[in-house]
């Protein structure tokens, strides 16, 4: 996903009104904005924040699933999970590159994540104690990500839209492999079925929170819609996700942990119960079950990989020096 709408307010613009109007006209005409084009400061800031949060989410998102790679129940599942986690790393890289076109450096972005200044999707702060969670993440978390990411393929900033197109092509595999894991468990022994149900009970509400605060509570949506960074509201996307997902769960004989969940014949939509926004706010603010552990793991991986980056740079320098020496000798 995981471009979750977090509580950040778009600044009031101090830009030249004529330039602003010309910019808005380009957006209204569905033109893509490219990195070297003039853009309002607020647009640039909003994009840096959103794209980098999205990138961080992809990177941190590798951790809950990485937890099960060595313990996958078969070689096939292990290969698939490894490929999925590798894709998520790739998604992070596409997105960091897109953010960098706006004039921020990779080092600044990574530093913002490690120091706790940057946010990432709340969903990755939940633990993955059972194998069923690997299925549930693919089915629900990647499923929610797809709902959010498909409209982002048409977002107004060119590099972001192009990164999203690439990402969307890869997400479908993620969701299908997840659903297949859940299906296998749901059709297995009573213990396996219970494992799947227990996992759905834990992930359903956090998955719904991935779409961000409800429309009535999110202040910055209007400007982002006007700039076509965002094209659907949080609640509209959440509803789409629920409508698509509930029948998929029922098909497997699973139930959703929401006593108020019911189909409205008149609207054709599934209605859901109240989301616990207090929990959402707690997790976003760093008080979720795994926030500290996730950042600690990221910093550890980054620090322990420092020697690889240093060695690669030293190797490149040595090779460049050798080439230069050979050239001088030949002259």
Catalog residues that contact another protein under the rule CB under 8 A: 34, 36-38, 83, 86-87, 90, 93-94, 97, 100, 105-107, 110-111, 162-163, 166, 170, 306, 309-310, 312-313, 315-317, 319-320
CB of 165 to another protein, least distance (A): 11
CB of 317 to another protein, least distance (A): 8
CB of 156 to another protein, least distance (A): 15
Strand partners, 270: 263
Interior angle at CA 313, CA 309 and CA 317, nearest 5: 170
Among Fe ion, another protein, none, residue 174 binds (CB under 5-8 Å by kind): Fe ion
Q: 249 near 193, Cβ under 8 Å?
A: no
Q: Which stretch binds Fe ion (CB under 5 A): 13-21, 28-36, 80-88, 239-247?
A: 80-88
Q: Which of 246, 77, 252 is nearest to 178 (CA)?
A: 77
Among Fe ion, another protein, none, residue 91 binds (CB under 5-8 Å by kind): Fe ion
HEC-encoded secondary structure of 153-196: CCCCEHHHHHHHHHHHHHHHHHHHHHHHHHHHHHCCCHHHHHHH
Please report, as residue ranges, which positions from 173 to 232 form the binding site for Fe ion (by CB under 5 A): 174
CB of 142 to another protein, least distance (A): 16
91 binds Fe ion per the rule CB under 5 A: yes
Distance of alpha carbon 280 from the chain centroid: 16
Structure tokens at 8: 């950040």
Distance (Å, whole) CA 157 – CA 173: 26
Q: 142 near 171, Cβ under 8 Å?
A: yes
CB of 175 to Fe ion, least distance (A): 8
| CB-nearer residue toward another protein: 159 or 178 | 159
Please report, as residue ranges, which positions from 305 to 324 form the binding site for Fe ion (by CB under 5 A): none
Q: 161 near 155, Cβ under 8 Å?
A: yes
Q: What is the number of alpha carbons within 13 Å of residue 251 lying toward its C-beta?
A: 10
| CB-nearer residue toward another protein: 25 or 83 | 83
Stated as kind and residue range, the H or E segment containing 262 is strand 262-264
196's torsion region: left (phi>0), alpha (psi -120 to 50) or beta? alpha
Distance (Å, whole) CA 128 – CA 119: 20
CB of 2 to Fe ion, least distance (A): 7
Among another protein, Fe ion, none, residue 37 binds (CB under 5-8 Å by kind): another protein
Among another protein, Fe ion, none, residue 324 binds (CB under 5-8 Å by kind): none
Among Fe ion, another protein, none, residue 331 binds (CB under 5-8 Å by kind): none
Stated as kind and residue range, the H or E segment containing 271 is strand 269-271
CB of 37 to another protein, least distance (A): 5
298 binds Fe ion per the rule CB under 5 A: no
Please report, as residue ranges, which positions from 123 to 182 form the binding site for Fe ion (by CB under 5 A): 142, 171, 174
CB of 286 to another protein, least distance (A): 23
100 binds Fe ion per the rule CB under 5 A: no
| CB-nearer residue toward another protein: 94 or 241 | 94
The contacts of residue 90 (CB under 8 Å, 6+ apart) are 170
Among another protein, Fe ion, none, residue 90 binds (CB under 5-8 Å by kind): another protein
The contacts of residue 254 (CB under 8 Å, 6+ apart) are 182, 186, 196, 197, 200
The contacts of residue 44 (CB under 8 Å, 6+ apart) are 102, 103
| CB-nearer residue toward another protein: 13 or 105 | 105
Note the residues at the interface with Fe ion (CB under 5 A): 58, 88, 91, 142, 171, 174
């Amino acid at each position: 996903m995981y471009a979750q709408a977090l509580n950040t307010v778009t600044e009031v613009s101090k830009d030249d009104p004529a330039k602003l109007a010309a910019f808005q006209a380009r957006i209204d005409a569905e033109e893509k904005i490219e990195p070297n084009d003039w853009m309002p400061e607020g647009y640039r800031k909003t994009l840096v924040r959103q794209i980098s949060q999205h990138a961080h989410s992809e990177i941190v998102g590798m951790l809950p699933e990485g937890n099960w790679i060595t313990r996958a129940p078969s070689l096939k599942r292990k290969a698939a999970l490894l490929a999925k986690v590798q894709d998520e790393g790739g998604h992070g890289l596409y997105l960091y590159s897109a953010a960098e076109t706006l004039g921020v450096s990779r080092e600044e972005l990574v530093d913002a994540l490690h120091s706790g200044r940057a946010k990432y999707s709340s969903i990755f702060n939940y633990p993955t104690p059972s194998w069923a969670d690997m299925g549930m993440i693919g089915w629900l978390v990647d499923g929610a990500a797809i709902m959010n990411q498909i409209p982002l393929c048409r977002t107004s900033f060119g590099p972001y839209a192009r990164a999203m197109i690439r990402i969307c092509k890869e997400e479908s595999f993620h969701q299908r492999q997840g659903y297949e894991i859940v299906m296998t468990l749901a059709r297995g022994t009573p213990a396996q079925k219970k494992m799947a149900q227990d996992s759905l009970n834990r992930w359903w509400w956090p998955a719904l929170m991935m779409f961000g605060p409800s429309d009535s509570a999110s202040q910055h949506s209007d400007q982002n819609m006007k700039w076509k960074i965002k094209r659907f509201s949080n609640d509209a996307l959440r509803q789409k996700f629920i409508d698509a997902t509930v029948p998929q769960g029922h098909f497997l004989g699973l139930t959703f942990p929401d006593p108020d969940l019911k189909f409205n014949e008149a609207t054709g939509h599934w209605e859901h119960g109240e989301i616990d926004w207090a929990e959402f706010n707690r997790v976003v603010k760093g008080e979720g079950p795994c926030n500290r552990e996730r950042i600690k793991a990221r910093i550890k991986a980054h620090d322990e990989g420092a020697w690889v980056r240093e060695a690669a740079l030293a190797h490149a320098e040595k090779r460049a020096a050798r080439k230069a020496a050979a050239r001088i000798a030949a002259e």
